[in-house]
Each structure stands twice: as structure tokens, then as C-alpha cells.
Amino acid sequence: MDGFISFSLSVQNRRKSRMGHSLENHLAAVLRAHNIRHVRGALTEHNHKPDFLFPDLETYQAAPAEGDPRLTMLGAKSTCKDRWRQVLAEAEKISRKHLLTLEPGISEPQTNQMEASSLQLVVPSPVHNSYTDAHRG
């Protein structure tokens, strides 16, 4: 029985990983189609790898520790759960981080925590109605 459960979890984790990589691939295609300068998976401090860094790694590395207004980062997670906190450490020179997710209806307490942590949640328009009015503004 333990072998079956282990195998089942392995299959499920591979499926989730493919879904996450697929989301990143689609997002990268949209950015390229709109000629938006970015780098995917660049190494920042402490070997962190934000999913997307804008405009590029060179601008990020040349920026002072307090940051540069030209810098932006975007994490991409098909579902958040508590994993959204991982994004917070991925680019120390960027104070306001962005996280794209497909997850509908993240709880108000959790979106309040994101806001308090300077994390801007980005969701597709069809998912907007699953969030409260206060969090859609």
C-alpha cells in the first residue's frame, strides 16, 4: 500500500510541476509577443531565481541595494496556497513584487497578508469576480 501511495504522489507532483512550467511558458510567449524585455529564471541574491525579471539581469545587478524604479519581478504560480511567500525573497532590490496566479478566490485574510508584504496579486480577468470588491480595486 505504501508503494502505491508513494507512486501516486509522485505522479501528482510531476503533473503539478508540468502545469507550473506550462504557465511560465505561456507567460513568456505573451511577453515575447509584446516585445517586453525580460529574463526568465535569472539568479539574484542567495541563488534565488524569480520566474521573470524586468527589464534584464544587467539592470538588476547594476542597481543599488535600495533598488531602481525600472526593476520589476513577476512570480508565476498556477495555485498559491502558502507558496506565495517564496516570491518575497527572490529579488531583494525590488520592494514591490508581483505574483501571477490562476487560483480563484484566495481568502481575504491571505490577500491582506500579501498586500501587507508588498506583493501585488495578478489574476486573469475571468477570475476577478471570485475576489471581493475591496481586493479587485
- DSSP code string of 116-131: HTTEEEE--GGGGGGS
Residue 35 has pLDDT above 80, yes or no: yes
| Torsional class of 3: left (φ above 0), alpha (ψ -120 to 50), beta (otherwise) | alpha
- Rounded to whole angstroms, what are the CA distances from 60 to 67, 77, 103, 135? 8, 22, 29, 30
The reply to whether 131 belongs to the active site is no
Catalytic one among 60, 75, 87, 99?
A: 60
Residue 25: CB partners within 8 Å, gap ≥ 6?
none
Cα separation, 37 vs 56, in Å, equals 7
pLDDT band at residue 15 using 50, 70 and 90 as cut-offs: low
| Residue 104 confidence (pLDDT) | 82
For residue range 97-136, what is the model confidence (pLDDT) as tens digits? 999 998 888 888 898 899 999 999 998 888 877 777 666 6
* DSSP secondary structure letter of residue 51: S
Domain 18-136, CATH:
3.40.91.80
Question: Any idea what the Cα angle at residue 80 is, between residues 25 and 22, rounded to 5°?
Answer: 15
User: Given this model, what pLDDT does residue 103 score?
Assistant: 87
